[in-house]
A = this chain, B = another copy of it.
Amino acid sequence: MHTTFELQEFIEKAISELKYPDHPKRLYEPITYIMNLGGKRLRPALVLLAAELFGGDLEEALPAAMAIETFHNFTLIHDDIMDNAPLRRGKQTVHEKWGTNNAILSGDVMMVESNKELTKVKAAVLKQVLDTFNATAQGVCEGQQLDMEFETRNDVSISEYIDMIRLKTAVLVGGAMKIGAIVGGATEKEARLIYDFGENLGIAFQLQDDILDVYGDPEKFGKQVGGDIIANKKTFLLLKALELAENSHLEKLHHWIKSEHFDSEEKVAEVKRIYNDLDIPSIARETMEQYLDRALALFGQIEVTDEAKVNLLDLTHTLMAREY
């Protein structure tokens, strides 16, 4: 068994050794570029952690881990086009650097690369791995679609929001772990349990992200604190506030949402004040903890030794203990 850190290093090395065809250069350069932009390699690490949880072999699980990381980066390229994002991890996005057409096509071929990696898993589990991967990939596309649609809708409910983040973020966390588990030799029941663990953890993680965006320590949180408020992003916090606010709170909230010209700091401070008045941070943390508790209860049902569980449990606690 390896620690998460060791697995991350193992993955980083494998990524740095990836070799795509030389030609056509403009098709493959963006892939090398985005794959080497960094990141914590959490999703492929989860594949490997899940494989080792069930006694699987690292080398055997590596292609599946690479497939997940390649797929994730493919979605980043296409999402960045759709979101018109100029930067990714502080660097130019692929479509900014190579143009939209190139970004579409390099993304497409990355999807093929993910599938090529997957075919390297052993024949006995190939079908099961592919079924899980395809269901995961489909869910991620559905989540992105809903996320785009929410931007122009004014009637998004909390349950719709949870379903969107489940699809956009959490199914990939669950799918990565389930694929690792299958390759590692898990039974169908165990694979199902670890998928559900991952999905619930993924939702908890995204809710934490929503909270940190407003209440995070600016020194420690990677992004601009209040960015979601400034952009009127329909997060759990905003949707909950819109649900609970009455009279002057509701009026103020609508005022800030509709304002086109405003002082960013003032808007963040004012909306934050409304959130605080309505007890939104406590409600959000409570909801987050419900998903985390459910995740841990499901993880508890997996019948392997406590020793085998240590690494995944440690990572869970690290992920869920970011500063806010």
Does A145 contact B82, Cβ atoms closer than 8 Å?
A: no
Q: A148 — which chain B residues lie within 8 A by C-beta?
A: 101-102, 105
Q: What is the bound-complex CA distance between A134 and B108, given in angstroms?
A: 12
Number of copies of this kind of chain in the complex = 2
Task: Tell me whether A156 is interfacial, beta carbon within 8 Å.
Answer: no
Q: Does A104 contact B (CB under 8 A)?
A: yes
Q: Pick the contact of A141: B27, B81, B146 (CB < 8 A).
A: B27
Q: Which residues of A, 1-45, contact B by the 8 Å Cβ criterion?
A: 21, 23-24, 26-27
Q: In the assembled complex, which residues on chain B have CB atoms less than 8 Å from the CB atom of A137?
A: 109, 112, 115
Q: Is A301 an interface residue (CB 8 A)?
A: no
Tell me whether A24 and B115 are in contact (CB under 8 A).
no
> When chains A and B are docked, how far (Å) is the Cα of A175 from the Cα of B140?
28
A76 to chain B, nearest CB (A): 13
* Residues of chain B lying within 8 A (CB to CB) of residue A108: 78, 107-108, 111, 141
Please tell me if the beta carbons of A123 and B116 are within 8 angstroms of each other in the complex: no
- How far is it, in angstroms, between the C-alpha of A18 and the C-alpha of B148 when the chains are bound? 26
In the complex, identify which listed stretch (A46-54, A124-132, A193-201) lies at the interface while the others stay far away.
Answer: A124-132
Q: Which residue of B lies closest to A110 (CB)?
A: B141
Residue on B nearest A143 in the bound complex, by CB: B24
How many angstroms from the CA of A112 to the CA of B142 in the assembled complex?
12
Nearest-CB distance from A104 to chain B (Å)? 6
| A287 on the B face (CB < 8 A) | no
**Cβ of B142 and Cβ of A27 under 8 Å apart?**
yes
Q: How far is the CB of A320 from chain B (nearest CB, A)?
A: 29
Known interface pairs A26-B149, A145-B26, A149-B26. Does A134 touch B112 (Cβ–Cβ under 8 Å)? yes
Chain B's closest residue to A136 (CB) is B112
Partner of A144, one of B23, B78, B105, B123: B105
Which residue of B is nearest A84, CB measured?
Answer: B101
Check: A311 CB closer than 8 A to any chain B CB: no
Q: In the complex, what's the smallest C-beta–C-beta distance from A157 to chain B, in angstroms?
A: 14
Contact of B149 with A24 in the complex, beta carbons under 8 Å: yes
Q: For residue A144, which residues in chain B have a CB less than 8 angstroms away from its CB?
A: 105
Chain B neighbourhood of A141, CB < 8 A:
27, 105, 108-109, 112
- A127 contacts B119, C-beta separation under 8 Å: yes
Distance to closest chain B CB from A137 (angstroms): 5
CA distance A107 to B137 in the complex (A): 13
List residues 57-107 of chain A with CB under 8 A from any CB of chain B. Answer: 78, 81-82, 101-102, 104-105, 107
Residue A138, interface by CB 8 Å = yes
A144 to B105, CA, bound (A): 8
A-B pairs with beta carbons under 8 Å apart, 21 shown: A24-B142, A24-B149, A27-B141, A78-B104, A78-B108, A82-B101, A101-B148, A102-B148, A105-B141, A105-B148, A108-B111, A109-B138, A112-B134, A112-B138, A113-B138, A115-B115, A115-B130, A116-B138, A119-B130, A123-B123, A126-B127
A111-B111, A123-B123 known; 17 other A-B pairs, CB under 8 Å?
A23-B142, A24-B149, A27-B141, A27-B145, A81-B101, A82-B104, A105-B141, A105-B144, A107-B108, A109-B137, A112-B137, A112-B138, A116-B134, A119-B130, A126-B126, A126-B127, A130-B130
